[in-house]
């Protein structure tokens, strides 16, 4: 089957779960190892309920809470996670941070990478993360990226949903749909760990049904919930991938 390692790079604490939680859970069921890198905790821009309930709170306290929430969600999905604790809103990636991401990619050598879409003007942290991942893939494919470290081939990279419910504004047009019917409840239960963002379940329930409705058109299968992805790395094989149909 080849390598069974997946790297997920998430701009904020909850992004990996809301956008790809069902897919992550499905791959873990199939025996894949999934490692998540959360660049920020989202303390400044993605923790609305914390600040509403703690008007005298601190970024440090909020970050601690978000790390605990995100760790609990990753544990529930069955993934490992590391937190880089960068600032958010805005997220910045300098040379040192870029090289670290390349180093981690070379450590893990994933076959699959999930991360953000390249265009997201209403949430630049997402686009900055996507750009950093692509740079890491490019650097990591070069023989001189880290002396005495073999390069890694371009992994199969898939972008997940940008900011919802305005994905169309970001020109996101998925070309892969993953049926998450069997892992949808797992995803919902993991999202529930993010108490600082209680709105997430409603947003992503809507989009899981929306993507499933689109997927039905292509397959005529009874799909209830799906996650949409846009492939970055071109597919190379001896045969083209086929969609699953009712008779599969």
Q: What confidence score (pLDDT) does residue 2 get? A: 66
Measured in residues, the chain has a length of 248
Most confident of 162-166, 185-189, 218-222: 185-189
Q: What confidence score (pLDDT) does residue 247 get? A: 56
Q: Contact at 8 Å (CB) between 82 and 25?
A: no
Higher pLDDT, 241 or 8: 8
Section 164-169 average pLDDT: 82
Q: Is the pLDDT of residue 192 over 70?
A: yes
Q: Is the pLDDT of residue 59 over 60?
A: yes
Quickly list DSSP for 93-138.
--HHHHHHHHHHHHHH--SEEEE--S--TT-HHHHHHHHHHHHHHH
Section 62-73 average pLDDT: 98
Q: What confidence score (pLDDT) does residue 133 get? A: 98
**pLDDT (tens digit per residue) in 109-121:** 999 999 999 999 9
């Amino acid at each position: 089957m080849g390598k069974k390692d997946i790297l997920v790079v998430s701009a904020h604490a909850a992004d990996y779960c809301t956008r790809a939680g069902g897919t992550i859970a499905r791959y873990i069921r199939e025996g894949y190892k999934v490692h998540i890198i959360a660049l920020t905790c989202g303390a400044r821009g993605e923790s609305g309920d914390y600040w509403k309930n703690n008007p005298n709170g601190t970024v440090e306290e909020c970050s601690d809470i978000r790390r605990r929430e995100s760790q609990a969600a990753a544990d529930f999905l069955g993934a490992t996670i590391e937190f880089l604790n960068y600032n958010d809103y805005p997220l910045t990636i300098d040379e040192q941070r870029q090289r670290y991401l390349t180093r981690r990619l070379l450590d893990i050598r994933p076959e699959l990478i999930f991360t953000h879409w390249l265009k997201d003007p209403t949430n630049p942290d997402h686009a900055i993360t996507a750009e950093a991942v692509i740079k890491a893939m490019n650097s990591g494919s070069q023989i001189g990226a880290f002396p005495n470290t073999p390069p890694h081939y371009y992994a199969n990279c898939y972008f997940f949903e940008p900011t919802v419910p305005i994905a169309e504004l970001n020109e996101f047009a998925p070309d892969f749909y993953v049926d998450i019917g069997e892992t949808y409840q797992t995803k919902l239960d993991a999202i529930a760990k993010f108490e600082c963002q209680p709105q997430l379940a409603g947003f992503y329930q809507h989009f899981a049904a929306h993507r499933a409705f689109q997927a039905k058109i292509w397959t005529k299968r009874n799909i209830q919930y799906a996650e949409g992805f846009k492939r970055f790395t071109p597919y190379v094989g001896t045969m083209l991938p086929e969609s699953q149909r009712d008779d599969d």
